[in-house]
Amino acid sequence: MKRTGTSHIASAWHNIWSRWRSKLDEMLPWGSGRRSLWAALIALVLAVLVTLVWLAGRYETSQVQAELERDTADAVADLRSSLSRHVQALQALQSGHYMPATWQPEAQALLRDNRDWLRLEWRDKNWQLLSFSDSPLRAPAFERIARAEVLNEAAQACQRAKRLNGPAYSSTYFLPQADGLGVEVMELCLPVTQAGEFMGYTVVTYSLQELLTERLGPTFGRRNELSFVEPDGTRLAIAGTQRRERRVFTTQQLVDLPGNTLLLRMDGRRGEPDLFPNVLTALVTGMSIALITVMVLLAKDARRRLKAERDLADALAFRKAMEDSLVTGLRARDLQGHITYVNPAFCQMVGWEAEALIGQNAPMPYWPPEMVDEYQQRQAIRLAGNAPPREGFESVFMRQDGTRFPVLIIEAPLISVRGEQTGWMGAVIDISEQRRIEELSRASQERLQATARLATVGEMASLLSHELNQPLAAISSYANGSLNLLKDPQAEPQTLDDVHMALRRIAEQAERAGRVINSVHDFVRRRDQAREAVAPQALLDAISPLVSLQARKLHVRVHIRVEGRLPLVWCDRTMVEQVLLNLARNGMQAMDLPECRDRVLVLHVKRAASNPESAWVEFAVTDVGAGIAPEIETQLFNPFFTTKVEGMGLGLSLCRTVVEQHGGHLAFEPHAPKGTVFRFTLPAADGNAATGTA
């Protein structure tokens, strides 16, 4: 049973402790290591506080006690002086009266003055009662018990008084009263001498109760309970207040009288000293509360800090995880262009370690050597404070193994917490895959177009053959008939007429065939109606997306130069665009050789002659490729001549047809030091001049 009780208490304590611990854990910023330190600090502060409050309380108690002791000493002194005044009064009484008749009134007066006197007796030297007087203020004390029965104490006191030749007090004794109660009394015996001769005794019976009430009550009884006690603690008489306070301060002091020693006890009913009994304690407690408040505030602050640190660490970990999982490369540069940060995706993209990249400045290791100049210019522009386009720009980077790959770079200023720009942050996306897909779709589209064109050509050819078949068959049969007629040597004039007729039919059929051919020509000529005035720049703008698509694939830089104040050209926009596209594509393909490193294609538009008023505009497409071998120069414009595996050999011949249909001229010449320039001219639209960028 007992065991269960103990373990029950233990588990209750454990519960309380763990509840407190979790509360404290919530409140205080301790890590596992700091917990014991905090606990020790709190325990120390609490110990100091408790000690201070306890000491202050104790000090206060001792003050009260000391005050009470002083009061008791004062009370004893007062009592003594009262008693000695009594002795003097008695001596005065005895000095002038030798006759009981005169003694009586004086004794009565004294008894009236001293409430604590119960009875005054005058006895002769043989201890015979000469006269006596009871206190007029109360019922006679020796009523219930006769005086003769309780003379013992008085007799002893008188013997002592005689011996001492001075006042002597008896020990106290209990004197039952007529009203059923009783009083504790003490006798004072004073020897009476006359002219040096011993004459008898004066005996006073004191009521201890009255003695206390009369002599000490007014002065000390208000705040204390006064009593005469016996050594064993029995109270003989009590006076003073009897307030029921919680705490009683007690002192006792001996009242040493000749023949008797009284024990005066004073109970100071002051009550427990307050928790804040004085300024000192209040001050100490106030300071302690302030200390604890500061500690709690500090702890709260530290807890907030700890939480902020944890949040920050979480945020950092989150950011790190996010960065590591990104497929977009991130690269930060300071205002001088030094790389300050790269994420794992960027490192993976370019094949360099972060350590090898951080701190690098232009030229970066991932820049293709042939692009360094251009990239450096671009970086200079950026560092000069020109913001990059929001949608980003395309560029080519080089892996560590030298392979190039296209990227889309989106850059934004890097702004610090203070709002100052500290550099640039760039997101780099590898778009090789995107390019590959675009290229695939472009190639398949081209193939589709070529097939469609071939189909149209085939259709047209079969239509033509069908249309031309009839007149040609007729011509052939008329011609054969005529020949047969002419072979006959006996040909009659009738026959000659037939031949005439046949020849006329031949001419008719030939005309018809000509009309068929003309109708095809008309069909082609009808495109003339599609002509309009177009700004040269607009033509270039229209083809530039397609051109740059292929240029990126073949790592070619395209430079477009358009002279200022060029006139509009009068042309079939779609056809001319097709011409430009063909020439540009041929030029780029001619540069697609391993030995050709710095691949530049220049599209240049200017007035055809030096005369600024010239009515012709010249377009030139210059490459730095392989050039055209002299042996194939003559065949270049032949339909179906090609040197390429997938070529159709229709491009240049179509180009020439289109240019010539516009009245222009297409030609080519070698470009120094290498490559080829293809030029063609187009007529300016009448009187329409436009700026180069129209």
3-class DSSP string for 476-508: HHHHHHHHHHHHCCCCCHHHHHHHHHHHHHHHH
Question: One symbol per residue from 594 to 623: x for binding ligand ADP (CB under 6 A), - otherwise; what is it?
Answer: -----------------------------x
Residue 266 sits in the site that holds ligand ADP (CB under 6 A): no
Residue 652 sits in the site that holds ligand ADP (CB under 6 A): yes
Residues 6 or more apart from 636 whose CB is under 8 A from it?
A: 628, 652, 668
Q: Could you give the CA distance from residue 236 to residue 243 in angstroms, rounded to a whole number? A: 19
CB of 588 to ligand ADP, least distance (A): 9
Q: Could you give the CA distance from residue 162 to residue 124 in angstroms, rounded to a whole number? A: 12
Helix (H) or strand (E) holding 408: strand 404-415
Nearest to 55 by CA among 341, 244, 277: 277
Q: Which stretch binds ligand ADP (CB under 6 A): 25-33, 94-102, 210-218, 636-644?
A: 636-644
Residue 8 sits in the site that holds ligand ADP (CB under 6 A): no
What is the size of the binding site for ligand ADP (CB under 6 A)?
A: 19
Residue 643 sits in the site that holds ligand ADP (CB under 6 A): yes
> Pick from 89, 560, 648, 694: which binds ligand ADP (CB under 6 A)?
648
Residue 642 sits in the site that holds ligand ADP (CB under 6 A): yes
CB of 602 to ligand ADP, least distance (A): 12
> Tokens 């002599």 map to which residue?
215
Instruction: Spell out a b/e string for 331-351, using b for 16 or more CB atoms within 10 Å of the CB, else e.
Output: bbbbeebebbbbbebbbebbb
CB of 447 to ligand ADP, least distance (A): 12
> Pick from 295, 362, 628, 694: which binds ligand ADP (CB under 6 A)?
628
Residue 644 sits in the site that holds ligand ADP (CB under 6 A): yes
Residue 663 sits in the site that holds ligand ADP (CB under 6 A): no
Residue 641 sits in the site that holds ligand ADP (CB under 6 A): yes
Residue 558 sits in the site that holds ligand ADP (CB under 6 A): no
Q: Which stretch binds ligand ADP (CB under 6 A): 152-160, 190-198, 304-312, 586-594?
A: 586-594
DSSP state of 628: -
Residue 659 sits in the site that holds ligand ADP (CB under 6 A): no
> Which lies closer to ligand ADP via its Cβ, residue 417 or residue 645?
645
Residue 657 sits in the site that holds ligand ADP (CB under 6 A): no
Under a CB-based contact definition with an 8 Å cutoff, are residues 85 and 184 in contact? no
Residue 406 sits in the site that holds ligand ADP (CB under 6 A): no
> Pick from 213, 251, 676, 681: which binds ligand ADP (CB under 6 A)?
676
Residues 6 or more apart from 465 whose CB is under 8 A from it?
A: none
Residue 556 sits in the site that holds ligand ADP (CB under 6 A): no
> Pick from 210, 586, 619, 684: which binds ligand ADP (CB under 6 A)?
586
Residues 6 or more apart from 343 whose CB is under 8 A from it?
A: 323, 324, 326, 329, 330, 331
CB of 599 to ligand ADP, least distance (A): 13
Residue 636 sits in the site that holds ligand ADP (CB under 6 A): yes
The beta-strand segments (E) located in 138-243 are 168-169, 173-176, 182-194, 197-207, 224-229, 235-240
CB of 438 to ligand ADP, least distance (A): 21
> Which lies closer to ligand ADP via its Cβ, residue 369 or residue 647?
647
> Which lies closer to ligand ADP via its Cβ, residue 57 or residue 639?
639
Question: One symbol per residue from 233 to 262: x for binding ligand ADP (CB under 6 A), - otherwise; what is it?
Answer: ------------------------------
> Tokens 């030749």 map to which residue?
165
How many alpha carbons fall within 13 Å on the CB side of residue 550? 21
3-state helix, strand, coil in the chain (%, to 5): 50, 25, 25
- Determine how β-strand 557-562 pairs with β-strand 600-607: parallel
> Which lies closer to ligand ADP via its Cβ, residue 525 or residue 644?
644
φ and ψ at 567, to 5 degrees? -75, 165
CB of 585 to ligand ADP, least distance (A): 7
Q: Could you give the CA distance from residue 551 to residue 558 in angstroms, rounded to a whole number? A: 7
CB of 671 to ligand ADP, least distance (A): 9
Concatenating the DSSP letter of every residue in 630-686 gives: HHHHTTTTSTT---SSS--S-HHHHHHHHHHHTT--EEEEE-SSSSEEEEEEEEEEE
> Pick from 579, 590, 596, 617: which binds ligand ADP (CB under 6 A)?
590
Contact residues for ligand ADP (CB under 6 A)? 582, 586-587, 590, 623, 625-626, 628, 636, 641-644, 647-649, 651-652, 676
